[in-house]
């Protein structure tokens, strides 16, 4: 079985699980309906193939999960404090982040991580120049802005070391080398 077919079966299975969870019923009819709706979605709205190159580095990935979880918890506490503190709301703004990722997959993962952190939301991605515009809840001081940039750089560095090490990376548009 080819990798493409395994991915298709996995996506169909995931769509079926989501359908079943939405209906809240584990009956045969719900599962069959989920398979039918999932297959219809996959045929009507096909996703483009995302070229993937390089290797996954498990230790770097584990560090990425721990650090991203810490940042998500830390910012959740910060957002909760902003909501209940007896002071005016913080100054928010849009910051421009220059990324050094090479693959679209790592760029998407980076923006997804930024969106998962409470208090931030990616507004625009300029893929050609590798720039991301992010709305940040607290830009009231230089220290808050510097902290956001440090967090972003650390997440980007961990994503690159997990998926896109520069020594292993080659463009997906380049045909693989034949030995």
Does residue 179 form part of some domain? no
CA separation for the pair 160, 168 (Å, rounded): 11
CA separation for the pair 68, 124 (Å, rounded): 21
Statement to judge: residues 106 and 147 lie in one domain? yes
Task: Read off the pLDDT of residues 131-154 as tens digits, 9 standing for 90 and up.
Answer: 999 999 989 999 999 999 999 999
Statement to judge: residues 145 and 94 lie in one domain? yes
> What pLDDT was estimated at residue 43?
92
> What residues have CB less than 8 Å from 102, skipping those under 6 apart?
164, 166, 169, 171
Task: Read off the pLDDT of residues 82-128 as tens digits, 9 standing for 90 and up.
Answer: 889 898 888 999 999 999 888 888 888 899 999 888 889 999 999 88
Statement to judge: residues 97 and 123 lie in one domain? yes
Please state the pTM of the whole predicted model: 0.69
**Number of domains into which the chain is organized:** 2
> What pLDDT was estimated at residue 54?
62
> What pLDDT was estimated at residue 170?
54
Does residue 94 form part of some domain? yes
Instruction: Round to the nearest angstrom and report the end-to-end CA distance of the chain.
Output: 25
Q: How many CB atoms lie within 10 A of CB 90?
A: 19
Query: Is pLDDT of 30 > 70?
Result: yes
Give the least confident one: 39-48, 60-69, 165-174.
Answer: 165-174
> What pLDDT was estimated at residue 53?
60
Residues spanned by the domain of 87: 58-163
Give the least confident one: 66-80, 114-128, 157-171.
Answer: 157-171
Statement to judge: residues 110 and 152 lie in one domain? yes
- Report yes or no: 101 and 160 within 8 Å, Cβ to Cβ: yes
> What pLDDT was estimated at residue 52?
61
Statement to judge: residues 107 and 38 lie in one domain? no
Give the least confident one: 2-11, 72-81, 168-177.
Answer: 168-177
* Average confidence (pLDDT) over 39-59: 80
Statement to judge: residues 64 and 149 lie in one domain? yes
């Amino acid at each position: 079985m080819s990798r493409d077919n395994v991915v298709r079966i996995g996506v169909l299975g995931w769509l079926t699980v989501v359908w079943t969870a939405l209906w809240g019923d584990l009956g045969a009819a719900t599962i069959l309906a989920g398979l039918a709706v999932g297959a219809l979605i996959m045929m009507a709205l096909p996703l483009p193939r995302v070229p993937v190159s390089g290797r996954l580095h498990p230790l770097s990935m584990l560090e990425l999960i721990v650090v991203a979880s810490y940042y998500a918890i830390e910012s959740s506490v910060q957002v909760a404090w902003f909501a209940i503190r007896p002071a005016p709301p913080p100054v928010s703004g849009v910051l421009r982040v220059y990324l050094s990722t090479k693959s679209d997959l790592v760029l998407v993962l980076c923006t997804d991580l930024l969106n998962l952190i409470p208090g931030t939301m990616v507004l625009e991605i300029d893929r050609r120049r590798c720039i991301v515009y992010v709305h940040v809840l607290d830009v009231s001081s230089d220290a808050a802005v510097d902290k956001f940039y440090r967090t972003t750089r650390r997440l980007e560095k961990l994503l690159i070391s997990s998926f896109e090490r520069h020594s292993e990376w080659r463009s997906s548009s380049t045909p693989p080398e034949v030995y």
